[in-house]
């Protein structure tokens, strides 16, 4: 039975501890930092954590200081184990309930009310308030990030709870939350807009306008900015006495589920036989076909027959960022199987591409064959451990995988094959890619595996007319079967084109009439998707365009800041995109939909949105290469260059040198175009330093 906590600690605000008999103790600086770190990060290695607290002390002193700190905490608690310690690790003990740990757990579980309950009235919410750690630079950097995370969790919880109360008509409770938020963050326009709106909904127009004037003054005084257009539009409505909507408009009716995912897989018997033959031969399976030919659906149906399976994916934009595809795949698996513990040496090596796994120790550069092999072998070990509960792993959109990830994965497949029995009992892989769109390096790696007998490539063709008829019949749409022959001719037997055409006929009311005389040229689905986009609200379309430009780094949470609108209409817009089958969560329902969204963007609008994304990502501490990409696409070369060089320098320290060389070369070209000759020569020299010499080992 779990032991209940006897002591309660607060590190959000004034750091202190309360005991079971009403005792109240202040926590000194390093003790408070230790509890906060363990509460937010979980169990941690003892010596690296101690080194954060005493960064300039010899190792013996660091260990002694930590022993003394743990001893003082035991004495303060009367012998209770606030911190469980062994020779190697530290963790929060069961006898101590920490507010920061409770808040994080509630935030991750999306229990928004519990997040706010974790903030005591006197706590304030600022992590380790009143303390600074200028003498502990690494700890100070951690604290900056942890404070930002806590503030984000609290802000999201306040927003969600205000919207929940507002939707229920409980404006008094919503107003109290908004007032507390404004008191805590008077410069938050998000909080101020809620306060203005709620005062007005309660019938107090003067209080609403007074709240706006306070917000405008704070923004001008503290930030030197004016309110956003969304806030100004709200106030204009209030000044006119316009009735404000109490709830978001209902999204339009969803299309039938059968159209979203046809219930029957037709026309793939030959491909299925090839999958079975390759499976029994122990080969890796590659499915290739035109966009919309049903590669992912076939892979999923086949995998489900073999046993437990999972899915990873490449995304547009990955090719510009070394190891972007593998990093996403590993993060996906670690989130899917959090109980899997990676060995310390594997975590250390993976931290080169997953910084969150790293400790305070700097990693040695990958300048030797042995260090390169250790790096790649760590990825093989992680792949085995993180897929041990899955029989099959499907990798979708492999044409987007970056070169570094493709090389590392090919190495892993070869190693698993060399391992004999171990590889045979390990995970099996099915990769899907668009025919004719593989970059040269991916073609080389795939054909290398095929030549070695380790892989089989299976090509998917179009559906035949009879197969189209079977597909249409399976959808059970009244009036659809009469169009089967016309659909076959019009779409060329492409399954996605068939479904998209049926969506168009449904939405235009033409399904139960004769075949339309006016449709885009046969065999093209893009115009049909673009017609569907034309029915979106302006905010929904702009949100989709932002998602298309952000690519692999899109998160719904960045839309309000990037588009400068409040969260409530954004939630409605995102729901509209899901209903229209444009987005599924935070990814596009299909690459062709993303391409249609991009095609809807005029160049000037694309540059403006890239600039907004760059600003948001810069504020959020995104990787330098992501910032460089968006500033370049925004036409701001001068703002992009420092990030491009920072990415090259960073990768020179922790990744294979060829990755850094590519970025130095790109920076040199941009500098030459800008007339910055001397700096371009320096970048060229750095590129030459990183390029492997003829005959040198390359891992």
The whole-number average pLDDT for the span 160-178 is 84
How many of the other CB atoms lie within 10 Å of CB of 478? Answer: 8
- Cα–Cα distances in angstroms (integers) from residue 158 to residues 117, 148, 562, in the given order: 11, 15, 20
State how far the Cα of 45 lies from the Cα of 399, in Å rounded to an integer: 40
* Model confidence band, residue 668 (pLDDT cutoffs 50, 70, 90): confident
How does the average pLDDT of the chain come out, rounded?
83
101-115, 122-136, 446-460, 552-566: least confident range: 122-136
For residue 245, is pLDDT > 60? no
State how far the Cα of 328 lies from the Cα of 169, in Å rounded to an integer: 41
For residue 286, is pLDDT > 90? yes
The whole-number average pLDDT for the span 516-530 is 63
| pLDDT of 255 | 60
* Model confidence band, residue 6 (pLDDT cutoffs 50, 70, 90): confident
The whole-number average pLDDT for the span 321-332 is 88
The whole-number average pLDDT for the span 382-391 is 90
Residue with the larger pLDDT of the pair 209 and 361:
209
Q: Which CATH architecture has domain 602-698?
A: Alpha Horseshoe (1.25)
The whole-number average pLDDT for the span 289-300 is 89
- Cα–Cα distances in angstroms (integers) from residue 291 to residues 266, 435, 486, 491, 601, in the given order: 17, 8, 21, 12, 21
State how far the Cα of 373 lies from the Cα of 547, in Å rounded to an integer: 37
The whole-number average pLDDT for the span 476-502 is 85
Q: Which two tokens stand for residue 551?
A: 């690519």
The whole-number average pLDDT for the span 229-254 is 64
State how far the Cα of 2 lies from the Cα of 414, in Å rounded to an integer: 46
For residue 246, is pLDDT > 70? no
State how far the Cα of 553 lies from the Cα of 316, in Å rounded to an integer: 10
| pLDDT of 693 | 55
| pLDDT of 696 | 41
- DSSP character at residue 78: T
The whole-number average pLDDT for the span 561-573 is 84
Q: Which two tokens stand for residue 287?
A: 């499915």
Alpha helices in 58-111 (DSSP H): 59-76, 99-108
| pLDDT of 385 | 92
The whole-number average pLDDT for the span 472-481 is 84
| pLDDT of 261 | 63
For residue 121, is pLDDT > 70? no
* Model confidence band, residue 517 (pLDDT cutoffs 50, 70, 90): low
Tens digit of each residue's pLDDT (9 = 90 or more) over 271-280: 999 999 999 9
pTM exceeds cut of 0.85: no
13-17, 158-162, 446-450, 520-524: least confident range: 520-524
Beta bridge partners of 83: 92
Residue with the larger pLDDT of the pair 74 and 254:
74
Closest residue by Cα to residue 609 from 643, 538, 559: 559
For residue 249, is pLDDT > 50? no
Beta bridge partners of 98: 9
| pLDDT of 675 | 81
| pLDDT of 527 | 65
The whole-number average pLDDT for the span 659-675 is 79
State how far the Cα of 35 lies from the Cα of 332, in Å rounded to an integer: 29
The whole-number average pLDDT for the span 163-181 is 83
| pLDDT of 151 | 84
| pLDDT of 692 | 63
Percent with pLDDT over 90 in the chain: 19
CB contact set of 610 (below 8 Å; sequence gap of 6+): 549, 630, 631, 633, 634
93-102, 152-161, 432-441, 511-520: least confident range: 511-520
- 6: exposed, middle or buried (Cβ count in 10 Å: 0-12, 13-18, 19+): middle
For residue 414, is pLDDT > 70? yes
| pLDDT of 350 | 92
Residue 363 in contact with residue 351, Cβ under 8 Å?
yes
| pLDDT of 132 | 85
| pLDDT of 352 | 86
The whole-number average pLDDT for the span 507-534 is 69
State how far the Cα of 316 lies from the Cα of 547, in Å rounded to an integer: 11
For residue 65, is pLDDT > 90? yes
Query: What superfamily in CATH does domain 267-460 come from?
Result: P-loop containing nucleotide triphosphate hydrolases (3.40.50.300)
- DSSP character at residue 187: T
Torsion of CA 523, 525, 531, 533, to 10 degrees: -170
The whole-number average pLDDT for the span 29-34 is 93
Percent with pLDDT over 70 in the chain: 91
* Model confidence band, residue 545 (pLDDT cutoffs 50, 70, 90): very high
The whole-number average pLDDT for the span 184-195 is 87
The whole-number average pLDDT for the span 677-695 is 77
Tens digit of each residue's pLDDT (9 = 90 or more) over 84-118: 888 788 999 888 889 999 999 998 888 988 888 88
- Cα–Cα distances in angstroms (integers) from residue 78 to residues 24, 95, 241, 588, in the given order: 13, 12, 63, 57
CB contact set of 671 (below 8 Å; sequence gap of 6+): 641, 677, 679, 680, 683
73-87, 327-341, 518-532, 555-569: least confident range: 518-532
The CATH number given to 169-240 is 1.25.40.10
Q: Name the range with the highest mean pLDDT among 439-443, 561-565, 678-682.
A: 439-443
- 696: exposed, middle or buried (Cβ count in 10 Å: 0-12, 13-18, 19+): exposed
Residue with the larger pLDDT of the pair 527 and 489:
489
Run of H or E residues at 44: strand 44-45
* Model confidence band, residue 513 (pLDDT cutoffs 50, 70, 90): confident
| pLDDT of 421 | 40
Alpha helices in 512-601 (DSSP H): 526-533, 538-550, 559-563, 567-579, 591-599
* Model confidence band, residue 575 (pLDDT cutoffs 50, 70, 90): confident
Tens digit of each residue's pLDDT (9 = 90 or more) over 50-64: 988 998 889 899 999
Tens digit of each residue's pLDDT (9 = 90 or more) over 331-341: 889 888 888 99
State how far the Cα of 148 lies from the Cα of 276, in Å rounded to an integer: 50
The whole-number average pLDDT for the span 338-365 is 85
18-32, 415-429, 610-624: least confident range: 415-429
State how far the Cα of 296 lies from the Cα of 431, in Å rounded to an integer: 9
Q: Which residue has the tokens 């929060």?
A: 92
């Amino acid at each position: 039975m779990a032991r209940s906590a006897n002591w309660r600690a607060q590190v959000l605000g004034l750091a202190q501890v309360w005991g079971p008999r009403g005792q109240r103790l202040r926590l000194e600086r390093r003790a408070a930092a230790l509890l906060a770190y363990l509460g937010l990060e979980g169990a941690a290695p003892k010596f690296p954590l101690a080194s954060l607290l005493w960064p300039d002390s010899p190792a013996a002193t660091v260990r002694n200081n930590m022993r003394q700190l743990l001893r003082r905490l035991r004495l303060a608690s009367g012998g209770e184990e606030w911190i469980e310690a062994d020779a190697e690790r530290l963790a929060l003990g069961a006898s101590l309930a920490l507010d920061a740990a409770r808040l994080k757990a509630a935030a991750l579980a999306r229990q928004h009310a519990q997040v706010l309950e974790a903030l005591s009235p006197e706590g304030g919410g600022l992590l380790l308030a009143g303390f600074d750690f200028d003498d502990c630079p690494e700890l100070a950097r951690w604290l900056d990030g942890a404070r930002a995370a806590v503030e984000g969790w609290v802000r999201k919880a306040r927003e969600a709870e205000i919207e929940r109360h507002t939707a229920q008509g409980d404006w008094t409770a919503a107003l109290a939350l908004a007032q507390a938020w404004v008191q805590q963050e008077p410069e938050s326009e998000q909080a101020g807009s809620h306060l203005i709106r709620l005062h007005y909904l309660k019938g107090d127009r003067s209080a609403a306008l007074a709240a706006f004037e306070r917000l405008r003054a704070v923004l001008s005084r503290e930030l030197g900015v004016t309110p956003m257009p969304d806030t100004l539009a709200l106030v204009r409505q209030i000044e006119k006495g316009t009735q404000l909507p109490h709830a978001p408009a209902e999204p339009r009716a969803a299309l039938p589920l059968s159209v979203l995912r046809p219930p029957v897989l037709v026309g793939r018997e030959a491909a299925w036989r090839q999958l079975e033959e390759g499976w029994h031969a122990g080969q890796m399976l590659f499915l290739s076909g035109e966009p919309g030919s049903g590669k992912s659906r076939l892979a999923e149906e086949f995998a489900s027959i073999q046993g437990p399976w999972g899915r990873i994916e490449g995304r547009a934009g990955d090719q510009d960022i070394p190891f972007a595809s593998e990093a996403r795949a590993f993060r996906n698996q670690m989130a899917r199987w959090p109980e899997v513990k990676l060995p310390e040496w594997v975590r250390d090596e993976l931290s080169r591409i997953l910084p969150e796994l790293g400790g305070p120790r700097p990693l040695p550069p990958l300048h030797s064959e042995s260090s390169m092999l250790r790096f790649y072998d760590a990825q093989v070990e992680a792949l085995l451990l993180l897929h041990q509960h899955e029989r099959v792993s499907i990798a979708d959109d492999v044409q987007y995988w970056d070169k570094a990830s493709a090389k590392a994965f090919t190495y892993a497949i070869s190693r698993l094959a060399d391992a004999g029995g171990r590889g045979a009992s390990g995970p099996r892989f099915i990769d899907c890619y668009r025919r004719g769109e593989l970059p040269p390096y991916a073609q080389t790696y795939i054909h290398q595996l095929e030549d070695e007998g380790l892989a089989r490539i299976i090509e998917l063709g179009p559906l035949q007319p009879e197969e189209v008829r079977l597909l249409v019949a399976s959808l059970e749409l009244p009036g659809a079967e009469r169009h089967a022959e016309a659909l076959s001719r019009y779409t060329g037997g492409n399954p996605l084109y068939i479904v998209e055409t049926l969506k168009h006929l449904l939405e235009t009311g033409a399904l139960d009439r004769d075949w339309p005389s006016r449709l885009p040229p046969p065999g093209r689905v893009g115009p049909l998707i673009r017609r569907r986009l034309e029915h979106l609200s302006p905010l929904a379309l702009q949100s989709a365009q932002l998602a298309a430009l952000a690519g692999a780094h899109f998160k719904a949470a960045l839309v309000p800041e990037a588009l400068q609108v409040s969260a409530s209409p954004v939630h409605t817009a995102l729901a509209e995109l899901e209903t229209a089958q444009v987005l599924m969560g935070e990814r596009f329902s299909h690459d062709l939909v993303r391409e249609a969204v991009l095609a809807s963007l005029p160049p000037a609008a694309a540059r403006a949105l890239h600039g907004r994304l760059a600003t948001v990502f810069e504020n959020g501490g995104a990787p330098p290469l992501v910032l460089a990409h968006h500033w370049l696409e925004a036409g701001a070369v001068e703002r992009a260059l420092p990030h491009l060089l920072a990415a090259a320098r960073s990768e020179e320290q922790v990744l294979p040198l060829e990755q850094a060389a590519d970025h130095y070369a790109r920076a040199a070209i941009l500098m030459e175009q800008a007339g910055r000759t001397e700096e371009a020569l320096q970048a060229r020299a750095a590129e030459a330093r990183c390029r492997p010499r003829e005959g040198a080992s390359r891992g």
